[in-house]
Structure 1
Amino acid sequence: MSAPESAPPTRPPAPELRGAPSPRLHNEDLAPRRDAAPWRTWDLFCWWMSAWHSLGSYTFAIGLLVLGLTGWQVVVALVLGIAVLLWGCNLTGVAGQRAGVPFPVFARLSFGVFGANVPALLRAVVGVAWYGIQTYLASLAVMTMTLKVWPASQSLTAPQFLGMSALGWICFLVLWTLQLAVLHRGMEAVRKLSDVAGPVLWIAIAALAVWVLARAGWSVDWNYREGPALDTAGTVSAIVSGAFLTVAFLAGPMLNFADFSRNSPDARSIRRGNGLGLLVNGTAFVLVSVVIALASAEVHGQAVTDPVELVQDIDSVTLLLLATVSIAGSAVGINIILNFVSPAYDFANVAPSRISFRTGGVITAVVALVVMPWRLYSSPVMVNYFIGGVGALIGPVFGIVVADYYLLRRGRIDVDDLYSDSPTGRYWYRRGTNPNAIAALLVAGTITLLVAFLPALSALAAYSWLVGTVIGGGAYLLAERVHPSGSLLPEPAAVPAQLPTQR
């Protein structure tokens, strides 16, 4: 990996809109690419480091052991999933870079200038819920450290208010405030945070791996599994299932990747950043996570799925402090990148004249607090059926927007009309909404929810993202063929694009 460039590469300026954009669809934050410092290869590489290194990512990766896979088979499943994520992020990332707009504005292309609020708010709901839950999980790590360093704080764990102790509230609100402060400074602050957090968190994770390996006598069993052995067919099926569960795990960020890539100088930077961040960094993180889990199995008799439990075994207060700060820092980093930026843009898209990116961030933080994420997390039914149900619709949305941009329009966009509420605008469709996209989302979404939650279809549940993507994109293309929306005529201001190829 080369060092970051000493000077930012040249990139095209923000496109000039032909006419005055509608205040119902435009503000400074939603405008086409601005002149802020670009997200280059190094920035996207660090972005992926921050995105991967979290409590949730580790727990998810090790959780694949319950499929009956061995340690090395879990690595294979995760790497296959990473390859699919690389393909998808190159598609959405390059499209966003060429248009120069964030995801909710890009979605206007297929859903209509007002209809785009449907997929945007679906993504926002998932982001807000997980933002609150991740903040809560990080606060538990901080609370563990506080109790170890300051035993007298034990007295603050007894009083309960709305289901959480006084100490729990203090830890939660401290992290809640820190994250809001970062986002309030804008996307440039987010870029700088990920540039620092990504490499630093790698050091902490590597140190944790060395510490656990030393306790295990520098020995791990790559054939370790939880549950009975699988036959060949069962093993292949479990590996493929694990791969698509990996895709579903990061399907939301893949959908709104344009929020970040739109500020990249060129498509090459995106492909290189994704390649380094996903294939190289992602694979390395997978290997380290599995090594930690297998080493913990040597020490505890079974793989420890929660890094906080490992940290609690540290005797040194100094090392415990460093480990806790690293864990909490990783949670904050991934939360801002994956669960905070997207809802901020999505809420701003609803009423641009009144809601800025920063205001959208405040709404995200407040709603995440009001829903009391500790109660959400303690209720598997709520997580599985509400958050999981809305999340299952991400696949159909991805299928629709990708099929529309690459297969139907061949990369041609009239950026000006993305901000026009004129009935003669290219993306006005029918009262600002494209019925074909909404119908495709309803059809694919219904099927995806049935696949995800119907017991009779449980064998296909791991493939819900794939099912939703294929049916969503296919249903949309069929609807446009039967009842064309009429937005495909050549336009002088259209921007041609080529299908991105991985390099």
Structure 2
Amino acid sequence: MTSKPSPLVNDPERSPEAPGHRYSPRLYNEDIAPRGDEGHWRTLNLFAWWMSAWHSLGNYTAAVGLLVLGLMGWQLAVGLCLGVYFIYVASNIMGVAGQKIGVPFPVFARASFGVFGANLPALLRAIVAVAWYGIQTYLASVVVMVLVLKIWPDAEALTEGGFLGLSPLGWYCFLGMWLVQLAVLYKGMETVRRLSDFAGPTIWIGMFALAIWTLQRADWQLNWNYHVGDAPLEFWPAVGAILAAAFLLTSNLSGPILNFADFTRLAPSRKTVINGNRLGLLVNGIAFCLVSVVIGLAALEVYGKAIEDPTDLLADIDNVTLLLLSIVLVAIATAGANVVLNFVSPAYDFCNIAPHRISFRTGGLITAVLAVVITPWNLYSSPAVVNLFLGGIGALMGPLAGIIAADFYLIRKKMIDADALYSDDPNGKYFYGRGTNMNSIIAFAISGGIAICIALVPEFSAIAPFAWPIGAALGVASCLLVNRLRPNLAARVDDLRTGA
């Protein structure tokens, strides 16, 4: 193949209807076609994407909630910044690969799992994304409900009773946020880009305003030595807790790391991806983590405890104008983060199941409907369910990333024939046996099984925070080992012969 992906979308020689076309309708539609010669997501777009990705209620809660590890405030800040760096490295690995090949994640996964076997990693990612999409939509609706009750106190009557665990007012706010996000996705990826371009920078206004407001109430006092527990951790336990915080933050974004190709495939060059990640991930991510810790510690001075839910802070704002501005910004930020992190991915993943029947828009509609069916407010209110369901499936994101990265970088030497990813020819490079590469399935069974045990079995609770890096490392090792014991070189040899 050449170094650039095939300019498929506007090429009449390669349209699905062209005579002699070798693209299967079971594997292709225009929504998941390779990028054309020019990508239109630039450095600033990826910078804004990461800004949107970071600024959500869920990420703030995850960051401040790590104080339960017993870390001091400054130790938590160190751990979070280290986690941002780990995410940066992993995102470069997956993002650069996606940019080079120019296809969305489920199509990219076909090289390592087979043209039909790729539905396994795609659907696992979709399950996690749908659940978090529903949860984040619910959290955003709670913020909107706070505003409604402040402006219209009589709406308190609508908080009584309800259906499926949600009050009438809760349903109105939830469905309102649900419809807004669906409308964005329905207009396509260009609208998603515009939303992230707007939401990313906008939320910093709200974050800084909330930080300054909280600091003023705390008389600008911060206790960076605050910790949970009777005594601060000793040196080595503290080091372990800092690393645990870093990898828990990494695990929190393990899904978006895995499917980062959905966005970087639209970038024109490797340099664009690296620069976008450096600005939007490293610089912005570290700033977000530090501001989150500052807000948490300032809230500690005001309330006597670190407030993990920023909604509680917003509800305490007496000035209606400031409250309106803050809630609108937080709602925009959460919707922006939700769309880029948890809506686009399952839309592509469901589309990949049957491209001839399911478009990107239809995949988005399926995602939205499922996000209501699972009643995310009930899911979020049950820590046991979140831990067992999302924690268990989320632990599989590391092994999947490890296998796909090992296959691309170490086995195929960064050389993939993008055209063959859309072929169901039994003799095709990525068809393997019945469309599935059993080598990757076996590697995933090994690494994924161990990762789930680490994440969920109580006896392994001490190393549970490290489930993602252990799973990713095992994914790489098992992929290399299985391919060594069960050589499957035909596709690799063809790739190396065509060159990159």
Report TM bin, short chain: over 0.9
Change (3 A) 1:471 1:231: same
- 1:160 equivalent in alignment to 2:153: no
Cα deviation for residue 322 of structure 1 reads: 1.1
Cα distance in 2, alignment partners of residues 341 and 33 from structure 1: 16
1:206 maps to 208
Tell me which of 273, 276, 288 is aligned to 1:273.
276
- 1:72 equivalent in alignment to 2:74: yes
2:128 maps to 126
**Mapped contact 1:19–1:416 kept (Cα < 8 A):** no
Cα deviation for residue 19 of structure 1 reads: 3.9
2:87 maps to 85
**Mapped contact 1:413–1:494 kept (Cα < 8 A):** no
Q: Which amino acid aligns with 2:52?
A: S
Q: Which amino acid aligns with 1:213?
A: L
Cα distance in 1, alignment partners of residues 195 and 285 from structure 2: 19
Cα distance in 2, alignment partners of residues 450 and 475 from structure 1: 16
Cα deviation for residue 161 of structure 1 reads: 1.3
**Mapped contact 1:37–1:188 kept (Cα < 8 A):** no
Output aligned runs, 1:427-438, within 5 Å: 427-438=430-441
Cα distance in 2, alignment partners of residues 493 and 264 from structure 1: 26
Unpaired runs of 5+ in structure 2? 15-19
Give CA deviations for 1:153-188 in whole Å, capped at 9, x if unaligned. 111111311211111110000000000000000000
Tell me which of 234, 242, 245 is aligned to 2:237.
234
2:293 maps to 290
**Mapped contact 1:414–1:495 kept (Cα < 8 A):** no
**Mapped contact 2:424–2:435 kept (Cα < 8 A):** yes
- Stretch moving more, 116-125 or 238-247: 238-247
Cα deviation for residue 392 of structure 1 reads: 0.8
Cα distance in 2, alignment partners of residues 163 and 273 from structure 1: 41
Cα distance in 1, alignment partners of residues 331 and 38 from structure 2: 29
1:56 maps to 58
- Stretch moving more, 401-410 or 214-223: 214-223
Cα distance in 1, alignment partners of residues 358 and 104 from structure 2: 15
2:455 maps to 452
**Mapped contact 1:182–1:190 kept (Cα < 8 A):** yes
2:409 maps to 406
Change (3 A) 1:148 1:413: same
Give CA deviations for 1:104-148 in whole Å, capped at 9, x if unaligned. 000000000000000000000000000001101111111111111
- 1:381 equivalent in alignment to 2:374: no
Runs of 4+ in 1 over 6 A off after TM superposition: none
Q: Which amino acid aligns with 1:474?
A: A
Cα deviation for residue 495 of structure 1 reads: 5.3
- 1:366 equivalent in alignment to 2:366: no
Q: Which amino acid aligns with 2:344?
A: V
Q: Which amino acid aligns with 1:175?
A: M
**Mapped contact 2:5–2:101 kept (Cα < 8 A):** no
Tell me which of 249, 256, 259 is aligned to 2:259.
256
Tell me which of 481, 486, 495 is aligned to 2:484.
481
**Mapped contact 2:38–2:268 kept (Cα < 8 A):** no
State the identity %: 57
Cα distance in 2, alignment partners of residues 67 and 61 from structure 1: 11
Q: Which amino acid aligns with 1:231?
A: E
- Stretch moving more, 351-360 or 386-395: 386-395
Output aligned runs, 1:12-23, within 5 Å: 14=7, 19-23=21-25
For the aligned residue pairs, the C-alpha RMSD in angstroms reads 1.5
Cα distance in 1, alignment partners of residues 117 and 5 from structure 2: 29
Give the TM-score, by structure 1 length. 0.94
Q: Which amino acid aligns with 1:14?
A: P
Give CA deviations for 1:327-370 in whole Å, capped at 9, x if unaligned. 21111111101000000000000000000101100000001111
Cα distance in 2, alignment partners of residues 473 and 382 from structure 1: 29
2:396 maps to 393
Tell me which of 123, 143, 146 is aligned to 2:145.
143
**Mapped contact 1:411–1:495 kept (Cα < 8 A):** no
2:17 maps to none
